[in-house]
Amino acid sequence: MAARYDVIVIGAGISGMYQLHRLRGLAVSVRVFEAGDGVGGTWYWNRYPGARFDSESWTYGYSFSDEILRDWEWSEHFAAQPETLRYCNFVADKFDLRRDIEFGCRIKAAVYDEAAGEWEIESEDGRRARARFLITAIGPLSAPTMPTIPGVESFRGEAYHTGRWPHEPVSFVGKRVAVIGTGATAVQAITEIAKTVGHLTVFQRTPNWCAPLHNSTIDAATQARIKATYPEIFARCRESFGCFIHDADPRKALEVSPEEREAFFAKLYREPGFGIWMGNFRDVLINEEANATITEFMRRKIRERVKDPVVAEKLIPTNHGFGTRRVPLESGYYEVYNQPNVRLVDLRETPIERITPAGVKTTDAEYEADMLIYATGFDAITGAFDRIDIRGGGGRRLREKWAEGPRTYLGLQIEGFPNLFTLVGPHNAATFCNIPRCIEQNVDWVTALIAYMRDRGHTRVEPTPEAERDWLEHVHDTGRRMLFTQVDSWMMGINSNVVGKDKRTFIVYAGGAPKYREKCDAVAAGGYVGFTFR
């Protein structure tokens, strides 16, 4: 017998926790199903050394509760994973969230029962539950991918994927450690591991443009100032493209003098956080010539910081300009390559042939290792959906509907999948955002829609095919001018380790959070234009 609720939420990360809290306010019955044994989502799973966010801590926490804002103190401007996980647990305690969450419960299927007007979910261990509404809060980067390299199973040493890092401490002292990957995760992990490792080998396929994080602790005076100005901080985030405190400079890179440009880049390089990416001249992410100016600046920085010129050249990206892939923020990453016990292997010159029992075999050598770390990323945004067998009206599979790329309305609902809401799903501004800021918007919007339906006695909501088609067109329009759409990365749905994810696909919304919010608000204000109710 399946347990029955009004609403089922899948996932107890930042979005699932807040969704639960808001639904309690509607006095509906809610059950949250979470694969992990604790709350926190991304912060529960990504325990790899060096993990921390690139958002200013005081812009990342929930904004909805004055009590949380008053009682919680971030210790650093960019908090590390253990602190953020503690924060999630603090929030769960504060609102007594755990009593409505079922932990250790990975959902494998969700099927819409048209006759009953209900979703039925099933977990891997056979638990079933039913509800009128199903809300996925499964995160954009929660489906880790292992490389499809032969021999992975044969390795005899310790092996970890960064997104499934063990809960027990892992020591690198005196060990030969190999890391595969050089994305944002690897850049953090490598920098931390290099501090204690015996010998480190980094296997790099595509270098990224990394910029300094400039993290620091928050002193008492700053803490007081932050607490006193939370409304202003969140208001500033609301108005910026990605809900960061950084927003594009009104000037264009090409309309200022070379000296002024250089001085501005140097200033951004010295400052903490994503300013150099989000707060740069307004044309650097859309105009190739403008982009070339910051790219050249970053190239020089790598050459200045890495002593061996051959290694420096290997670390310089050649197939994309600065900011057209997710910019990893670093705290001494380039200097790691000046250590005598660190070696960089360029997989463009010598690709990996296989993993062997002793280590990694490339086309020119076998690199022995005691530990292999896969920092090989995620099947982004749609991957977590693909891993659940989601079937809507008439048994239609979501995986099939999205075979050529996602189709949604507002990135929150899908035609043919009534009463299903996809928080931080594809084509939703949250995927390109200081994510809790956009999560709160998503959750508030979905909660308001459920309240609207309850007040009017509606039991079923679904977008029209026309609304979905128009949204898709809008998503493509907003992305077209952005340089990142011309580059391979997870932001364009590329993952070399997943069958069928080899073509660039618009999976994110690139219109910016303010425009997205405006669109969502207009839909709601017009009586949920583009939706049909029953």
Residues binding ligand NAP: number (CB under 6 A): 26
Please give the Cα distance from 503 to 493 (Å, whole number): 7
Q: Is 373 in the site for ligand NAP (CB under 6 A)?
A: no
**For ligand NAP, which is the closer residue by CB, 383 or 463?**
383
| Piece of the chain touching ligand NAP by CB under 6 A; list 49-57, 124-132, 216-224, 468-476 | 49-57
Toward ligand NAP, which CB reaches closer, 16 or 377?
Answer: 377
Q: Measured between alpha carbons, how far is residue 173 from residues 280, 281, 325 in Å?
A: 40, 43, 33
Per-residue tokens: 328: 């990893």
Concatenating the DSSP letter of every residue in 265-313 gives HHHHHHSSTTHHHHSSBTTTTT-HHHHHHHHHHHHHHHHHH-SSHHHHH
Residue 151 CB, shortest distance to ligand NAP, in Å, is 12
DSSP secondary-structure letter at 190?
H
How many residues does this entry show for the chain?
Answer: 534
Min. distance of Cβ 497 from ligand NAP in angstroms?
A: 5
Give min distance, CB of 180 to ligand NAP, in A.
Answer: 5
Considering the complex, what minimum distance in angstroms separates the CB of residue 147 from ligand NAP?
3
Of 301 and 326, the one with the shorter C-beta distance to ligand NAP is: 326
Q: Looking at beta carbons only, is 326 or 437 nearer to ligand NAP?
A: 326
Least distance in angstroms from the C-beta of 316 to ligand NAP: 14
Element spanning 459, H or E: none
**By rule CB under 6 A, what string of x and - marks binding of each residue 288-327 to ligand NAP?**
--------------------------------------x-
Q: Which residues pair with 344 in a beta bridge?
A: 202
**Rounded Cα–Cα distance for residues 483 and 322 (Å):** 10
- Rounded to an integer, what distance in angstroms lies between the CA atom of residue 259 and that of residue 282? 18
Q: Which two tokens stand for residue 16?
A: 């699932």
Residue with tokens 């000296």: 259
Minimal distance, residue 378 CB to ligand NAP, in Å: 6
Distance CA(119)–CA(113), nearest Å, equals: 6
- Binding of ligand NAP at residue 180 (CB under 6 A)? yes
**Site string (322-361) toward ligand NAP, x via CB under 6 A:** ----x--------------------x----x---------
Minimum distance of ligand NAP from residue 166's CB (angstroms):
17
Calculate the alpha carbon distances from 342 to 204, 217, 268, 310, 480 in Å.
13, 29, 29, 14, 40
Interaction between residue 184 and ligand NAP (CB under 6 A): yes
Q: Which stretch binds ligand NAP (CB under 6 A): 193-201, 233-241, 374-382, 392-400?
A: 374-382
Strand pairing class (107-113; 118-123): antiparallel
The yes or no reply on residue 159 touching ligand NAP (CB under 6 A) is no
CA dist., res. 34 & res. 438, Å (int): 21
With CB atoms as reference, the residue minimizing the distance to ligand NAP is 183
Contact residue for ligand NAP among 143, 177, 375, 420 (CB under 6 A): 375
Q: Residue 180 forms beta bridges with which residues?
A: 203, 374
Name the minimum Å distance from CB 110 to ligand NAP: 25
Residue type, position 521, single letter = D
* 366 phi, psi to nearest 5 deg: -105, 125
Report the site for ligand NAP in 61-120 (rule: CB under 6 A): none
Site membership for ligand NAP, residue 439 (CB under 6 A): no
Which pair of structure tokens corresponds to residue 81?
Answer: 């994973």
Residue of 206, 287, 331, 362 interacting with ligand NAP (CB under 6 A): 206
Question: Of the two residues 52 and 437, which places its CB atom closer to ligand NAP in the complex?
Answer: 52
Residues 476 to 515 in contact with ligand NAP, rule: CB under 6 A: 490, 496-497
Select from 499, 183, 502 the least CA-distant residue to 325. 183
The residue among 418, 396, 417, 442 whose CA lies nearest residue 11 is: 442
Closest CB 213 distance from ligand NAP, rounded Å: 8
Strand order in the sheet with 366-368: 352-355, 359-362, 366-368
- Give the residue among 511, 532, 397, 522 at the shortest CA–CA distance from 461: 532
Q: Which is nearer to ligand NAP, 53 or 484 (CB)?
A: 53
With CB under 6 A as the contact rule, the residue among 19, 142, 182, 408 that binds ligand NAP is: 182
Q: Where along the sequence are the contacts to ligand NAP (CB under 6 A)?
A: 52-54, 141, 147, 149, 180-186, 188, 205-206, 326, 347, 352, 375-378, 490, 496-497
